[in-house]
Amino acid sequence: MHDESRRIEERVQRLHDQRIKTAIYAATVPFEVEAWQAPGEPVPFEEAADASYAPFAMGTPWGPPWGTTWFRMRGQVPKAWAGRRVEAVIDLGFVGDWPGNQAEALVHLTDGTPLKAVNPLNQYVAIANPATGGETVEYLVEAASNPDILADNFSRTTPLGDIRTAGDKPLYTFRSADIAILDEEVWHLDLDVQVLRELMLELGEHDPRRHEIAHALDRAMDLLDLDDVSGSAAVVREALKPVLSKPAHASAHTVSGVGHAHIDSAWLWPIRETKRKTSRTFSNVTSLADEYDDFIFACSQAQQYEWVRDHYPKVWSRIQESVKKGQWAPVGGMWVEADGNLPGGEAVARQFIHGKRFFIEHFGIETKGVWLPDSFGYNAAYPQLAKLAGNEWFLTQKISWNQTNRFPHHTFWWEGIDGTRIFTHFPPVDTYNARFSGEEMSRAVRNYQEKGGASRSLAPFGWGDGGGGPTREIMERARRLADLEGSAKVVVEHPDEFFAKAREEYPDAPVWVGELYLELHRATYTSQARTKQGNRRSEHLLREAELWATTAALHAPGYAYPHEKLDRLWKTVLLHQFHDILPGSSIAWVHREAEAEYARVARELQALTAEAVAALGSGTTRVFNTSPYDRAEVVRTADGAPVYVEVPASGSAPLADAEPPQPVTVSGRVLDNGLVRVEVADDGTLASVRDLRADREVLADPGNLLRLHTDLPNYWDAWDIDKHYKNRYTDLLDASSVSVVEQDPLIGAIRVERDFGKGSKITQTITVRAGSPRIDIETDIDWHETEKILKAAFPVDIRAPHSSAEIQFGHIQRPTHTNTSWEAARFEVSGHRWVHIGEPGYGVAVINDSTYGHDVSRTVREDGGTTTTVRLSLVRAPRIPDPEADQGRHRFTYALLPGATIEDAVAEGYALNLPLRVADAAGAPAPVVSVEGEGVTVEAVKLADDASGDVVVRLYESRGGRAQGVLRTGFPLAGAQITDLLERPLQEASVDGDGGVPVTLRPFQILTLRLRRS
C-alpha cells in the first residue's frame, strides 16, 4: 500500500478547520445592542440596569484598560427556528484563545440573574433547546476590558499593569452578538474528527491503529458534502463510529478527570477583578453541571467562595445545589492556594483552619486533601500540617517545571521533617488546565513514572489561571476517550475517589523525604520586598495581638477578646499569601494594594495590642516580651534612652535597669561588648568579627560585603533568578561615610553610607548592644536599579557540610557542596528568620526580619581552611510584570550571631522579629503559659475559636531532637486536651500534681493543646 499519510492528514485538517467548524452554527440573526460605560470601578447590577444606554454598532472599539462596559442586547428567535437548539453567541473582540487575561463578560437576565460568562473559548449562552420560535431575548452583559498583560509573551514592559498608568484608549473591537442555531450534528462531528485526528497524530508511524484511523477519516471525508455539511454530517459520523467504538486495551492507563478552573486570586489582574472572575467561572460551571450529569468540578480557595457568597448570592445558591448533587467538590481546605515556602508556620496552620472550617460550615463537607497545583515549591512541614488538619492526600503539578532535574515520581509518599507521611500525586499530564487533547493524553502516559507499579493518574481539566473552567467540548472529549483504543481511558470522578483507588493500587509507593524544591522561580523568595516584609510583620503582629488579648481576657475584668477582628485580620493576611501575591509575581496594582493593606493591618493590630495592654491597668511602665524565650537585652524608653532589661518569655517586667554583663566600648571603628569585638573597615565592610568567648575570628574575608549582580533571567523576570546572575557583579566598596553614631555603655553603633548605580543609596547602621553577641545591621535602601539583585555576604571561617534554614515549625538542612545536579540546582533557596552554619563545637547564624532568599556556598582556602559563605538576597529589580518593582525605600534589619547553636538561632530569630514593647500597665500578670524544658517552643497562644474561653496553645520541637518538658499556666487549669489544628479533641492530656501539662515531642513535632480554665 502506498503511504498517503501526509495527504490524508492535511485533507482532514483543512476540512475540519475550514468547513466543519465553520458550519457549527447553521444560521444567525444579530442582536440590537446598546452600551453604557461605567465610570471608574465596577458597579452593581442595579445601578447598571438604571443607566442610560446608547446605540452600539458591531465593529466599534470599546473598553478602556480595566474598564467596565455594560451592553443591553435585545433580539427575537425567528419563528422558523422552532424545534432547533438556539443560543446567543457573543464575540467581544477576543484576542488569542486564553480566557483569563483579556475581555470577559457575565451575561444577566434583566432581573439581575447571572446566567453564564462568555470568553474566547466559551462564547455561547443557551436560549432554548428546543426553541418554540418567536421567543424574545434580552440580556444585560457586564463586560470587563482587562488588558492582555501577556500580549508580548513577557518580553517587554507594559504600563497596563496599573489603572493609574494604563491610559484610556479602547482595547477591543466588538465583533458580533448573534442569536444562532447550534447544528448539533455538525458540532458532534467536529468533536469526533478532533479526537480521532489528535489520537492519530500521537500514535507511532508503525502503529496499525494510526493508519486505521487515518483511512477511516479519509473515507469519512469522502462522504462530506461540501455544499451541505449539515445535511451530510450524520452520514459522516456514522462512518466514523467503528473507529470511535473500539475499546481501549485492557492495560491502558486510566486518567481520572476532575473539572477545574484555576483562578489566581490576583496575578495579572487586581483582587477586585478576581471577585468578578469567580462569578463568571462559577456561573459557567453550574451551567455545565446542568447539562452533564457526569460532570464533577473540584474547586479550592475558601476566600473565592466567600466572595461569591457576599457579592453574587444567586451564583452562590447554584453552587450549593451543585454540591448537594455531588457535582461540585470543595477541595484543598485552605483559605487560598498559598505560596508553599514563604508563609510562616502558624500562617499555614491558619490557612487550613479557616479554609476547612468554611467548607464544614457552609457545605457540611470536610475536605480530605491539599490541592496546590501551582505554588512554587513546597516546604517540608506540609505533611505534618496537612495531617493535623485532617487531610489524607496532597496534590500539586508545579514540580514538573523543574529546570534541571526530572522529579522521579508521580505517585509517592511525601515525608516531612518530623516523619509524617502523606499520600501525594503529581499529574503526569503536566498541566492543571487539561482539555483532553491527544497530545495531553499521550504525554500523561509517556511521562508516568510509576509504570509497572500503578496504572492511574489525575488530570484537572478546564481553562484556568484566569478562570474559565471546563467547557462542554472538554466534557465531550472525555466521553469519547472513556474507552478508546490507542488512548488512555478517561473517567470523570471526584479527586477523593482517585486518591482512594491510587492508594489501594499502590500502597507501597516510594517515599520522598524533605522539601519539594522547585528548580525554577527562585526569585520569588525576594521579588517585591515590601510585600514580603508586610507579610512577615503582619504574622508577628498577629501573634503579639493574640497573646496580649488572651492575657487581658484572663486578667482584666470586662475585657472582651476581639474574636471577630482577629478573624478578619487573619483572613486579610492569608489572602495576601496567595501564590502570586506574596511571591512578588503580580502586576503593580496588586502590590500597591498589598502594601496599603499591610499598613492598615499593622495599624489595627497595633491598636488591638495597645488596647489589651491598657486593659491590664496603668501607672507602671513595663516591658512586654511576645517571644517564647526569656530575654535580657537593651530596649529604648519613650525618649529613646537605652535600658538593659530582663523579661520572661511571653511575659512582662518593670522597665528597670538590670546590670549588663559588660558595657559596650567604642574605639575608632571598633565596637566591643566583652562578647564580640567588631571592626569596621574604611570601605564599610566588617574587617573583623572576633568571638571573645571562643577566642576565634569569625570571618574568613570581609563581612557584610554588598554585591550588586546583573539579574536578567531567561524568561520570567519577577519569578526567576538564573544561575548566570553570578557571573557579572560589582562589589560596593566605596563608602561615602563611615562614622560612629552612638557611643553609650549599652549601645555602640557605626553608620555606613554608600551611593551607587542609578542614584541608589544605602545607609547601614552596625550596632552592638550590651549583653548580646548579636551584631545588627539596620539597613535603609533608596533603590533605583533595574535588572539587578543586591546580596549581602558573610564569609565565615567554618567548615560546614550543610546549612540549616528555618522553615515552618522547624528547620531544614541543605548540603553546602554541589556533588550532584540536585544540589547544584539549589543555588538560591528560601528560609525564614535565620540561617545557621556550623562545625562540631561552633556555629554562626545569620538572622533577618523580612528577607527569605539566600544562598550558601563554600570554598577551600590556600591555607587549607574552609570558608562557608552565607549571602542574603536583599532586593531585586525585575521589570516584568511590574516595571517599577521594588523601586524606592526599603527598611529592614539583618544580623550576624557568632557562636550560635540552633537553639540560639531560634531564640534570636524570634527576638529580632518580635521587638520588646514598652507600655504602661499596673498589673504584673503571670505569663499565660510557660515551658520548662529545652526544645519545646510556644508558637501561638490564643483563646479558642468557639468563644468557649478555653486557651489554645500551639507548641513544636524546634531543635530537631527529642524534647521533654512541662507546660505551666498562669491561670487555674481544669484540664487539657490534645487537639487537631481545628481545635477538635484527639485525646485527653495528662495534668501533673502541680497543675502542669507534661509534654514529650519527637523532632519537629507540632502539638496543639486546649486548656480548660477552672
Active centre residues (catalytic): 374
Q: Is the dihedral of CA 535, 540, 543, 546 positive or negative?
A: negative
Give the C-alpha separation, 825 to 833, whole Å. Answer: 23
Residue tagged 507579610 (cell numbers): 535
Give the C-alpha separation, 42 to 32, whole Å. Answer: 24
Beta bridge partners of 679: 670, 688
Give the C-alpha separation, 804 to 856, whole Å. Answer: 10
Residue tagged 432547533 (cell numbers): 84
The answer to whether residues 941 and 929 touch, using CB atoms and an 8 Å cutoff, is yes
Cβ contacts of 247-252, under 8 Å, gap ≥ 24? 247/483, 247/484, 247/485, 248/483, 248/484, 248/485, 248/486, 248/487, 248/488, 248/489, 249/485, 251/455, 252/487, 252/488, 252/489
- In the chain, the largest separation of any two C-alpha atoms, in whole Å, equals 102
Give the C-alpha separation, 853 to 813, whole Å. Answer: 15
CB atoms within 10 A of CB 792: 25
Give the start-end residues of each E strand in 146-204.
172-173, 176-182
Residue tagged 563611615 (cell numbers): 738
Between helix 345-363 and helix 302-311 the angle, nearest 10°, is 50
Quick one: 507 exposed, middle or buried, by C-beta within 10 A (0-12, 13-18, 19+)? exposed
How would you classify the pairing of strands 853-860 and 917-920?
unpaired
Quick one: 988 exposed, middle or buried, by C-beta within 10 A (0-12, 13-18, 19+)? exposed
Q: Of 780, 804, 820, nearest to 870 (Cα)?
A: 804
How would you classify the pairing of strands 254-259 and 489-492?
parallel
Give the C-alpha separation, 963 to 1005, whole Å. Answer: 9
Kindly state the helix (H) or strand (E) to which residue 888 belongs, with its residue range: strand 888-898
DSSP secondary structure letters along 739-757: EEEEE-SSEEEEEEEEEET
Q: Of 42, 63, 219, nearest to 211 (Cα)?
A: 219
DSSP secondary structure letters along 535-589: HHHHHHHHHHHHHHHHHHHHHSTT----HHHHHHHHHHHHHTTBTTTTTT-S-HH
Between helix 588-615 and helix 563-575 the angle, nearest 10°, is 160
Q: Exposed e or buried b for every residue in 240-274, given b needs 16+ CB within 10 A?
A: beebbeeebeeebbbbbbbbbbbbbbbbbbbbebb
The answer to whether residues 637 and 578 touch, using CB atoms and an 8 Å cutoff, is no
**Cell digits for 262?**
484555576
Q: What is the 3-state secondary structure (H, E, C) of 347-416?
A: HHHHHHHHHHHHHHHHHCCCCCEEECCCCCCECCCHHHHHHHCCCCEEECCHHHHCCCCCCCCCEEEEEC
Judged by DSSP in three states, 868 sits in strand
Beta-carbon contacts of 111 under 8 Å, excluding residues fewer than 6 positions away, are none
Residue tagged 517515599 (cell numbers): 511
Give the C-alpha separation, 437 to 199, whole Å. Answer: 8
